[in-house]
């Protein structure tokens, strides 16, 4: 981690960048938060990069692009997909960002640790990125507990897109591909359900929604200046969570709006305070797009047209043929 | 709040017999904004229109709903009537209670209920309508004709005769098209070249016509009245300004193995060639694939023998950019490939040929100098079998579902010509139906049967089997006699289905003109606008729109020309005001709308935006109203809902849906 801080200080000092977008030590050992740093002192004292730095910093560069001067931004391999997609949509200014592709060995999910009955957490060892600790040692009010690193990883890391950065100015630190599960297994399980079972499944998941908008606010694809759910121009604005229909509409509309643009970064599910597996909606669209138009990974590049916003003679016409590839 | 008038039409008994119109009036009165409602027998009549005008004046109406037939029929009528009475024409909505209701229902109670709902939806929409104003765009007084066959030539001649400049773009080295390949033409049996060549000469000599041969349309942008087209003039390797057309280069060219496109591959040609003797322009091209100079760098014989110094091996493709007011598509047809019809042994025997190949064989300038002979051994045939509908009227996926229309007549022609010239040749025709409507057509076919003794058998051929002795065994069925037929033939001629020239697909894409599942260009209306494409400013001439013979093609070519002239005669065009518009405060500048816009109507500009006190430079979508056709693709793609269609806004459509579901 010191290597990262040192490099950030260098870039600040030589004037390459005027600020650093990274993660700041939180009030708990497991909740670092995205933050700007403008001085070497602040970096030295408060910058952190560890297994809990899951937050994708790409979206913050929408505002960062509007600031005076260049911003150093740290992007993990999967974050770079989001950044590319934002370049494609003219939402971030590539020239305003100095990107350090930072190493990643899988990020941690505090909810998974808590689910193991581990409470009163005082300190966590083994979440640092240095070294190859495969066990988390957790100091709690009730004594020390251990849990394998893998068992505490975010769902998205089990279906890791790979250790390569799609866009960067320089690379720092090593990454490993942590994929050990099938990305579409859960989608396939739901696809196999009867319509009634599917309805019951989504009803039970989405009825947990408290419309806190965390999923929308964190989503790099949900980058509209004014969200349709906030605009007075539409009847959909800020509808109270009065019935089960509305909460479903919110998530379904959101999934449609990000279809073809979602990079599957998994932030929606990571931040959901209710633990709703929101990424499944997006992944269903991704699976369909792959089947209809061929394998497509949003954000793998910054200039190609997406499958839903380009027309070719080879396009399937599911409405006509009902068929898939 | 609007003051809305509702006018319910009986359409004689068309509507009134199935819909209780009085009830519709009564229910409409209860809707918000409605201050007037009445019914009348024929709303579109003078009296009906006067009723609308009176109500607009007396009740100070701000919007009207006419419950009548499809807006395709009378929307314009009622808009004009409203405009005359001082109302903005876009404050008129039509509730289609005829095609969408009375014509498709029997039960009066149900149909009335539906008519009330349709009226309610239209009223809900008018409540949100705003007056719209059509803009104006200029008209470039020049037409482009794509394809230089008889259709394109005729259209170009007719437009040029009206005094407008016309450019013909033809992809092959000469104009003339399929008709130039034909020997004789039905039903008069005059020589095809004799009637076509004068037209070709006339077109090339006309001071209003510019012909680009060996050229292709590369890019089309713009819109009705103001198209910009890039034409790729392929490198001819011969300087058109110097060549005298003496033909020495072709005689001396040592590369003679290229298959002759003009003779359908039945003979070969030199690498430097004009496709046929009467070619226009009479300037050869070098086929670089077969030219020894281009393949090996050695040779250069044509350059040496050319007295005019016209050969230019360094010539490059040239892009010509030109503006046009109207575009006529005349891309014509080709015969289908026969890979799917191997039972007829086309790929196995040289003596199984297509009808177009027979045209070349019968022609004095063809591969056999006009002698009817077998291509395998050069012997004259004794027995000939013609098979109709090869790939036409097909119920499976192998061929085409449609009738190619010309085959019955040209087969009768071939049969008659052969029997006339070679009376000892037996000619048998297998057919499903003989279809010969048309002036003097059936008489022509009957002459083949009655005067020339052509043996017509109703039934299809199942198999043609080449025999070791060189003959062909034809296995067919006679449906009238209900018996199997096994006969020996020396030649078999397949009436091969025709299909639109494959180039039409890319041209349709460039023009955003729609094509049907058979790749025929779609008309704006099958009956009432048969030579116009649904894309404004694009007209259809010849077989690109559907199978046709020469007389029909020439007639349609003239019709397409008239439509194009009608457009070119205008100085200004009214544009459709129902175009997309971006809400600057909501636009993200993400380019998704630009990606899906089929008309290239959306661009971006960086603009200083004041968003409730926050001033910042933003990338904002801007719609070119003249290019936008109002398709709405952008409105559904826009994630933030910034794009909306004027006259069909999201709010209006949702209000209609709400009114229906209420």
Residue B79 inside a domain? The answer is yes
Q: Does B131 reside within a domain? A: no
Name the residue facing B637 among A224, A228, A309 (closest C-beta). Answer: A309
Q: How far apart are CA A172 and CA A196, in angstroms?
A: 49
Q: Which residues of A touch B587 (CB under 8 A)?
A: 225
A261 neighbourhood in chain B, CB within 8 Å: 639
Per-residue pLDDT tens digits for B426-447 = 999 999 999 999 999 999 999 9
**DSSP output for A12-36:** HHTTS-SEEEEEE--SSTT--EEEE
Our CA angle for B492, B496, B502, nearest 5°, is 145
Given B517, B541, B568, the domain boundary residue is: B568
Query: CA A36 to CA A47: how far, in whole Å?
Result: 10
**One domain for residues B361 and B276:** no
**Distance between CA atoms of A286 and A159, rounded to whole angstroms?**
14
Burial class (CB in 10 A: 0-12, 13-18, 19+), A34: middle
The percent of chain A in helix, strand and coil, each rounded to the nearest 5, is 35, 15, 50
Is B591 within 8 Å of A89 when comparing Cβ atoms? yes
Closest residue in B to A234 (Cα–Cα) = B651
pLDDT reading at B42 higher than 50 = yes
Closest CA to B48 of B78, B80, B91, B75: B78
User: Does pTM surpass 0.90?
Assistant: no
* Cα B286 from chain centre: 31
In a domain, B310, yes or no: no
Closest C-alpha among B620, B595, B644, B607 to residue A88 = B595
A contact residues 66-125, partner B, Cβ 8 Å cutoff: 66, 88-91
A 207-266: CB under 8 A from B? 223-228, 231, 233-235, 257-258, 261
Same-domain status, B122 and B38: yes
- Asked whether residue B150 is domain-assigned, the answer is yes
pLDDT digits (tens, 9 = 90+) for B493-542: 999 999 999 999 999 999 989 899 999 999 988 898 999 998 889 999 99
Name the H helices within B60-138.
71-84, 108-126
| Whether residue B197 is found in the same domain as residue B121 | no
Same domain (yes/no): B482, B590: no
CA B487 to each of CA B419, B464, B476: distance values in angstroms, whole numbers, following the listed order: 19, 10, 8
Contact A233 B586 (CB under 8 A): yes
B339 and B463 assigned to the same domain: yes
d(CA B588, CA A89): 8
What distance in Å separates residue B258's CA from the closest CA in chain A? Answer: 32
Q: Which residue of A has its CA nearest to B583?
A: A233
Token pair, residue B349, equals: 């025997």
Task: Quick: pLDDT tens for B548-583.
Answer: 999 999 999 999 999 999 999 999 998 889 999 999
CA distance B597 to chain A (A): 9
Which CATH number do you get for residue B637? 3.30.70.20
Is-contact B557 B118, C-beta < 8 A? no
* Residues of chain B contacting residue A310, judged by C-beta atoms under 8 Å apart: 595-596
Q: Which of B509, B598, B619 sits opposite A90 (nearest CB)?
A: B619
Mean pLDDT of chain B: 95
Domain presence at residue B296? yes
Using DSSP, how many helices (H) and how many strands (E) does chain B show?
17, 34
Domain positions in chain A are: 182-325
The b/e string for B38-77 (b: 16+ C-beta within 10 A; e otherwise) is bbbeebbeeebbebbbebbeeeebbbbbbbbbebeebbeb
In this structure, is residue B311 part of a structural domain?
Answer: no
Of B70, B97, B126, which residue sits at a domain end? B126
B516 is written with which tokens?
């049907």
In the block, tokens 């490099």 appear at: A7
What is residue A325's predicted lDDT score, i.e. its pLDDT? 44
pLDDT surpassing 50 at residue B454: yes
**CB spacing of B654 vs A235 below 8 angstroms:** yes
Min Cα–Cα distance to chain A from B321, Å: 25
Separation of alpha carbons B99 and B16, rounded Å? 13
Contact status, residue B271 vs residue B258, Cβ threshold 8 Å: yes
Q: Could you give the C-alpha distances from A140 to A143, A154, B110, in angstroms and in order?
A: 5, 21, 72
Output the CA–CA distances (angstroms, integers) from residue A85 to A92, A261, B179, in the order listed.
9, 7, 54
Nearest to B641 among A66, A234, A306 (CB): A234
**pLDDT (tens digit per residue) in B261-274:** 999 999 999 999 99
Local structure of B506: helix, strand or coil: helix
Same domain flag for B344 and B480: yes
Are B583 and A233 an interchain contact pair (Cβ–Cβ within 8 Å)? yes
Q: For the ranges A230-234, B9-13, B184-188, B390-394, which has the lowest average pLDDT?
A: A230-234
Q: Give the best residue of A90, A237, A258, A321 to mutate against chain B (max B CB count within 10 A).
A: A90
Which of B499, B526, B555 delimits the end of a domain? B499
Query: Is B99 within a domain?
Result: yes
Nearest CB to A90 within list B583, B591, B654: B591
- Residue A224: which of B509, B588, B654 has the nearest Cβ? B588
In 3-state terms, what secondary structure has residue B349?
A: coil
Query: What's the ipTM?
Result: 0.86
Residue B204 is assigned to a structural domain of this protein: yes
Token output for A111:
């909810």
Residues B436 and B552 in one domain: no
Q: Which of A309, A312, A317, A320 to mutate to test the interface with B (most CBs of B within 10 A)?
A: A309
Point out the residues of chain A with pLDDT beneath 50.
325
Task: Output the CA torsion sign for B620, B625, B627, B629.
Answer: positive
Nearest CA in chain B to A62: B588
CATH of the domain at B76: 3.40.50
By DSSP bridging, strand B268-269 and strand B215-223 are: unpaired
* B586·A309 Cβ contact <8 A: no
- Distance between CA atoms of residues A72 and A57, nearest Å: 11
Question: How many domains does chain B fold into?
Answer: 5
Looking at the structure, do residues B43 and B121 belong to the same domain, yes or no?
yes
Domain extent, residue B276, equals: 248-305
- Same-domain check for residues B271 and B379: no
Closest CA to A166 of A250, A65, A81, A60: A81
Q: Is the minimum CB–CB distance between B588 and chain A shorter than 8 Å?
A: yes
Q: Give pLDDT, residue B512.
A: 87
B591 touches chain A (CB under 8 A): yes
Helix (H) or strand (E) holding B53: helix B46-59
Pair (B322, B411) in one structural domain: no
- Rounded distance between C-alpha atoms, residue B412 and residue B185, angstroms: 11
**CA nearest to A207, candidates A247, A267, A157, A258:** A247
With 50 as the cut, is the pLDDT of residue B613 above it? yes
């Amino acid at each position: 981690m010191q290597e990262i801080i040192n490099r950030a200080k260098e870039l600040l000092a030589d004037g390459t960048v005027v600020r650093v977008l990274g993660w700041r030590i939180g009030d708990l050992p497991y909740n670092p938060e995205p933050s700007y740093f403008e001085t070497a002192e602040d970096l030295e004292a408060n910058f952190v990069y560890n297994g809990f730095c899951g937050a994708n910093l790409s979206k913050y560069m929408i505002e960062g692009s509007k600031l005076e001067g260049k911003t150093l931004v740290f992007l993990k391999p999967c974050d770079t997909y989001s950044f590319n997609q934002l370049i494609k949509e003219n939402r971030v200014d590539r020239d305003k960002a100095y990107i350090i592709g930072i190493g990643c060995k899988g990020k941690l999910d505090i909810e998974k640790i808590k689910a193991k009955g581990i409470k009163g957490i005082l300190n966590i060892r083994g979440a640092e990125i240095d070294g190859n600790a495969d066990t988390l040692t957790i100091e709690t009010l009730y004594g020390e507990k251990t849990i394998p690193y893998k068992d505490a990883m975010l769902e998205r890391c089990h279906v890791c897109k790979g250790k390569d950065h799609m866009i960067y100015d320089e690379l720092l630190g090593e990454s490993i591909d942590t994929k050990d599960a099938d990305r579409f297994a859960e989608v396939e399980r739901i696809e196999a359900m009867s319509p009634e079972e599917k309805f019951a499944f989504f009803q039970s998941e989405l009825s947990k929604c408290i419309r806190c908008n965390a999923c929308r606010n964190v989503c790099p694809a949900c980058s509209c200046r004014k969200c349709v759910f906030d605009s007075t121009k539409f009847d959909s604005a800020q509808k109270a969570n009065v019935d089960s229909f509305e909460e479903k509409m919110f998530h379904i509309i959101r999934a449609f709006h990000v279809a073809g643009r979602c990079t599957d970064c998994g932030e929606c599910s990571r931040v959901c305070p209710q633990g709703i597996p929101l990424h499944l909606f997006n992944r269903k669209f991704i699976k369909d797009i792959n089947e209809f138009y061929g394998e497509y990974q949003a954000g793998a590049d910054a200039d190609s047209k997406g499958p839903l916003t380009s027309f070719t003679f080879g396009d399937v016409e599911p409405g006509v043929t009902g068929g898939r590839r | 709040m609007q003051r809305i008038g509702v006018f319910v039409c009986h359409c004689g008994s068309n509507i009134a017999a199935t819909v209780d119109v009085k009830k519709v009036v009564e229910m409409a009165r209860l809707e918000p904004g409605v201050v007037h409602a009445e019914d009348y027998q024929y709303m579109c009549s003078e009296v009906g229109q006067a009723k609308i005008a009176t109500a607009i004046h007396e009740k100070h109406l701000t919007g009207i709903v006419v419950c009548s037939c499809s807006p395709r029929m009378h929307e314009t009528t009622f808009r004009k009537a409203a405009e005359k009475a001082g109302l903005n024409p876009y404050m008129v909505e039509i509730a289609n209670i005829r095609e969408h209701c009375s014509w498709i229902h029997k039960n009066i109670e149900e149909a009335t209920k539906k008519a009330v709902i349709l009226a309610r939806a239209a009223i809900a929409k008018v409540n949100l309508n705003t007056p719209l104003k059509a803009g104006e765009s200029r008209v470039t007084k020049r037409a482009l004709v794509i394809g230089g066959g008889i259709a394109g030539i005729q259209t170009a001649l007719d437009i040029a005769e009206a005094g407008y400049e016309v450019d013909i773009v033809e992809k092959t080295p000469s104009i003339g098209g399929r008709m130039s390949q034909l020997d004789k033409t039905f039903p008069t049996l005059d020589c095809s070249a004799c009637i076509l060549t004068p037209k070709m000469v006339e077109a090339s000599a006309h001071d209003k016509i510019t012909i680009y041969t060996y050229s292709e349309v590369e890019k089309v942008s713009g819109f009705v009245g103001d198209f910009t087209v890039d034409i790729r003039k392929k490198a001819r390797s011969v300087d058109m300004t110097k060549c005298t057309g003496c033909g020495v280069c072709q005689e001396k060219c040592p590369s003679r193995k290229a298959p002759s496109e003009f003779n359908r591959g039945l003979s070969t040609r030199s690498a430097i060639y004009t496709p046929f003797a009467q070619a226009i322009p009479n300037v050869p091209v070098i086929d670089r694939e077969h030219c020894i100079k281009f393949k090996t760098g050695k040779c250069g014989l044509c350059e040496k023998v050319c007295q005019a110094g016209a050969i230019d091996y360094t010539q490059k493709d040239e892009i010509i950019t030109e503006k046009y007011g109207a575009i006529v598509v005349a891309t014509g047809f080709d015969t289908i490939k026969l890979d799917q019809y191997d039972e007829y042994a086309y790929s196995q025997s040289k003596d199984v040929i297509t009808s177009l190949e027979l045209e070349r064989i019968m022609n004095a300038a063809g591969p056999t100098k006009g002698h009817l002979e077998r291509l395998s051994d050069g012997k004259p045939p004794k027995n000939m079998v013609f098979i109709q509908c090869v790939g036409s009227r097909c119920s499976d996926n192998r061929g085409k579902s449609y009738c190619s229309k010309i085959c019955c007549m040209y087969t009768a022609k071939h049969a008659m010509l052969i029997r006339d010239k070679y009376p000892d040749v037996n000619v048998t025709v297998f057919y499903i139906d003989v279809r010969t409507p048309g002036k003097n057509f059936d008489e022509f076919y009957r002459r083949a049967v009655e005067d020339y003794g052509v043996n017509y058998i109703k039934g299809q051929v199942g198999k043609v089997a080449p025999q070791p002795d060189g003959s062909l065994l034809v296995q067919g069925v006679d449906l009238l006699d209900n018996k199997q037929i096994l006969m020996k033939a020396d030649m078999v001629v397949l009436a091969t289905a025709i299909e639109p020239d494959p180039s039409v697909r890319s041209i349709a894409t460039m023009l955003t003109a729609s094509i049907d599942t058979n790749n025929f260009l779609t008309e704006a209306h099958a009956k009432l606008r048969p030579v116009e494409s649904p894309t404004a400013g694009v007209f259809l001439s010849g077989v690109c729109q559907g199978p046709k013979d020469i007389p029909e093609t020439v007639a349609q070519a003239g019709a397409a020309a008239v439509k194009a002239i009608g457009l070119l005669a205008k100085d200004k065009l009214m544009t459709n005001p129902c175009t997309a518009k971006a809400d600057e405060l909501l636009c993200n500048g993400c380019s998704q709308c630009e990606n899906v816009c089929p008309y290239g109507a959306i661009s971006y500009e960086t603009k200083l935006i004041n968003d409730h006190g926050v001033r910042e430079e933003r990338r904002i979508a801007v719609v070119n109203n003249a290019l936008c056709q109002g398709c709405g693709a952008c409105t559904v793609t826009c994630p933030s809902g910034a794009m909306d269609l004027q006259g069909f806004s999201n709010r209006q459509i949702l209000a209609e849906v709400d009114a229906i579901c209420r």
